[in-house]
Amino acid sequence: MLARPRPSRSATRRGVQLALGLVLYAASIAALVRSGLGNMPWDVLGQGVSHRLGISLGTATIGLSVVVLLCWLPLRQRPGVGTVANVLVIGLLVDPFLAALGHLPDALPLPAAVALGAGGVVLNGVATACYIGARLGPGPRDGLMTGLVARTGRSVRLVRSVIELTVVVTGWLLGGTAGPMTAVYALAIGPLVHALLPRFTVPVRPADPDRAVRTGTARA
C-alpha cells in the first residue's frame, strides 16, 4: 500500500496563515464598527444593508460576498480555496467579535474609540498581508477589482477608488457609518499592506502542487 504524500511545510504554513488572516480580518471589522468612528468601505455598505433588512452584519457580509462572486462570472474570474474561506470565515466570525466588543461601555470615551479604530486599521493591515501572502486565492471584492481592471484596461487605483466610493456612498445612504476612520483606513491600508506583505508572502516551490494558484489583493 502506497503511503500518502505528506503535505509540505509550505502548504501547511499557507493554510494556517490563511485561517489566521481571515480571523484577524473579522476582528478588525468588529473593532472599526464598535469604535463608531467609521467602517471600512465595504462594511459601510454591509452595515447599511443589515440595518435596512434587519439582519446581522455577518449575514449581510456573506450575502454581499455572494452577490460580488456572481459578478465574477462575466469577468471570467476563478475562485480559489481562499476565496471560499474568505466568504465563510469572515462572515461567520464578525458577529461573535461584535458581541464580545459589546461588553465595552456603550459610550466609549473619544480617546478609547480612536485607539480601537486605529487598532482595527493596523490589525486589518496585518490580516490582509497574512491572507494575501498565503497565496490561496483572492477575496470576492479583490477579484471584482482585478477582473474589472483586466476588462476595462483602467488602472488599479482608478477602479478601486470608483468601487469604494460607490459602496461608501451607497452604504451611507442606507444607514451605514462612514466617518474619519473610513478615511484613515483608505489612506493607510495601502502603505501598511505594502510594508507587511513581503514579510508574510509564503514562497511557493516549483514542486508545490498549489504553485499555479493565483494570488489576490487586499479586501478593502
Q: How far apart are CA 23 and CA 90, in angstroms?
A: 7
Domains of the chain: which residue ranges?
13-200
- Report which DSSP code applies to 152: H
C-alpha cell belonging to residue 28: 478588525
pTM for this entry: 0.86
Q: How far apart are CA 49 and CA 43, in angstroms?
A: 9
Residue-by-residue pLDDT tens, the chain, 220 positions: 444 545 567 888 999 999 999 999 999 999 999 999 999 999 999 999 999 999 999 999 999 999 999 999 998 888 899 999 999 999 999 999 999 999 998 889 999 999 999 999 999 999 999 998 999 988 999 889 889 988 999 988 899 889 999 999 999 999 999 999 999 999 999 899 989 999 999 887 654 444 444 444 444 4
Cα–Cα nearest to 194, from 220, 162, 155: 220
Amino acid code (one letter) for 112: A
Q: How far apart are CA 140 and CA 175, in angstroms?
A: 23
